[in-house]
Structure 1
Amino acid sequence: MTDAPTRIPVTGSAAYEITVGRGIIGTVADALDERVAKVLIVHTPTVGRMAEELRASLQDRYDQVLLAEVPDAESAKRVEVAAFCWQILGQADFTRSDAVIGLGGGAVTDLAGFVAATWLRGVQVVQIPTTVLGMVDAAVGGKTGINTAEGKNLVGAFFAPRAVICDLDLLETLPKNEVLAGFAEVAKAGFIADPAILDLIEADVDRVSDPSTSEFREVIERAIAVKASVVSEDFLEGGAREMLNYGHTLGHAIEHAERYQWRHGVAVAIGMMFAAELGRMAGSLSDEAVERHRRVLTLLGLPQSYPAGRWPGLLATMQRDKKARAGMLRFIVLDDIAKPRVLAGVDQSVLQFAYQEIAN
């Protein structure tokens, strides 16, 4: 792999560019409109030093560069936190020509995007994800949102970023379990569209999950390319984009059940195993393909089961999921690896049988 940055375009009605490389965080100013005078960097405590360094690098270029430190993980995605950010923007007199930068994991980029989408009905946002999950999923698709007591991401907006900067150097200090949790979304891209990702994981999971290697960069770029291609075709999730929800219907219900204390990727891994079993029960997915799910997720150290007694609560949460339509649950299942489709109106007994296959 070359050391030069890779540029992955999102085309269509909401065009922007995703840049992947090393040592490229300093290019953020080049991604912003030249009219920008004020910038708000939304970040978590864990990347506080990085935020301060970024602020220092931008201060000579802009009239004001402000910091908004928000809680880690899903605790950031609350209306009270969004209101805190809006207050900063209001007190600093941010106009439509100013900008927000999201610096952090997927929850922070979701929040920063939502704040940008809603302030004055939309100001520029550049996303700088600092986790695997953020790079391959949350930051790159233009979905923004916050959670409510009733469920995850029920309040939000489709809002394209000005640019996404994926600096792989930012991942090298991540704990291994954080990297592997993010790899649930990398594996998802392999299951729904690009089996070469699965081949690389199976060939040498240690190198693939090491942020310093060329294999790591390749699977990250492949996963981003899958999402960019789908988003280019269907930005507003009217059709093809639904396939990106593979494993997410049950996964989001598990996150809700765990009060968002679980990493997103861990919950989605269980959700993908459930979706694989559901596909098998629907008569479309082979035993071999289901076992490949189990093998890949095991290699990544990700779970594939959840307690049997939690099913009634999970079902109730799924019925409130934003992907349900007219009270009808919709799941993405596979006819084969890289052949996703929608399965709607499944009898609850079938869902329960599929859940029993992953229950512990």
Structure 2
Amino acid sequence: MFSPDTQVSIESGYLILTMMPSLYCEEKCPHCYLSKDQRADKTIMSIENIQLICNKIDKYYSEKNFYNKHIVLYWYGGEPTSMGMDYFINAIDVINKTLSPTKGYTLKHVVLTSLVNIDSNWFPFFDKYCEGYFQTSYDGRMRGKKYLNEWEKRVKEAIDYGLSVGTLSVVNEEMLKVGANKTIEYLTELGVSESGFLPFMLNEQNKGKKYNRFAPTMTNWSSFMIEATQKGRSLHKKGATPPTIGQEAFYFVQSYRDSAISNSAAQTLFLMPDGTFCLPDYKNGYEEFMQPFGNILSSSFEDVLSGNERIRYLTKQLTRNNNIECLDCQHSNYCVMEFWKENKLDDDCFGGSKYLDWLNKNNESRYGDLSSSILA
């Protein structure tokens, strides 16, 4: 098992690589940070470039002589399945052969799909290449009843096939109307294994009506999370199998580690179709945008990692954006801020301190000992 004491950064051998070789997507989600033009662009990173990138990552790992080489690849987008199964298989084969177990690598592939635009032909793919698991976006009723019904049908088909299904939600006002109790009950009845619940971020695409309509306050997010966690624990005690709540599990792993650098995105990069590595950053307070660090196609992996933009970015993370309230906060090493930004006035912080306060007072884990778990 990868040590939780070293599993904190790319520089220690642990890489969470969010793969975005295509940004194309037919959906118009109010929380999406991609522009209309980006979502309409069907450009796909070539297999040759994926090979080149893998070679450069392998060269870096070999030169550093890491004892542990653990890489988790999250295939996001866009809608990643829009690239087609043949492309996907070729890309994963290239990655697995270049970053192979014989060289000491452990790899994990996770695909996030809307699920509504694919059929059951994808299920054997998830079974073979993704360890029988995939993630799907769950947004409650935000996209309408017809969409939700189709999504539910696909989830049931996948679980009946034998797959494990995780959901990733950007908590929105429509979910708050349903409530956390019913949300967890619904996901439990479906048979969902894991569920993550992210705060709704402001970006250039949703500024104005969409953000004002769908984005809950952080105080309401924390209340939702407390209720969801309580419900999950209650169902577990009754013998049911509710989904693992990602933010709750994250708390137990991170509070055990209690390391400033482990909560600074030092292990994470997003890879765009043109070879640019980037991560979400914030301007004008808490407006999200993508901060580029360099292009791996025209430079070495080490040059990207040690470049001025990434060093500046990591400094911002380690100093908690110089937020006085964050620097003084007992939760800053294990909160859910994810990428550091200014907090809203007169609201709970983006780290969800009210939820963390509750977890500290109610810190019994229904997951067993997570101290040796990986953040994947």
Could you tell me the TM-score, scaled by structure 1's length? 0.28
- Say which structure is richer in helix: 1
For CA contacts below 8 A with separation 6 or more, give which structure has more relative contact order: 2
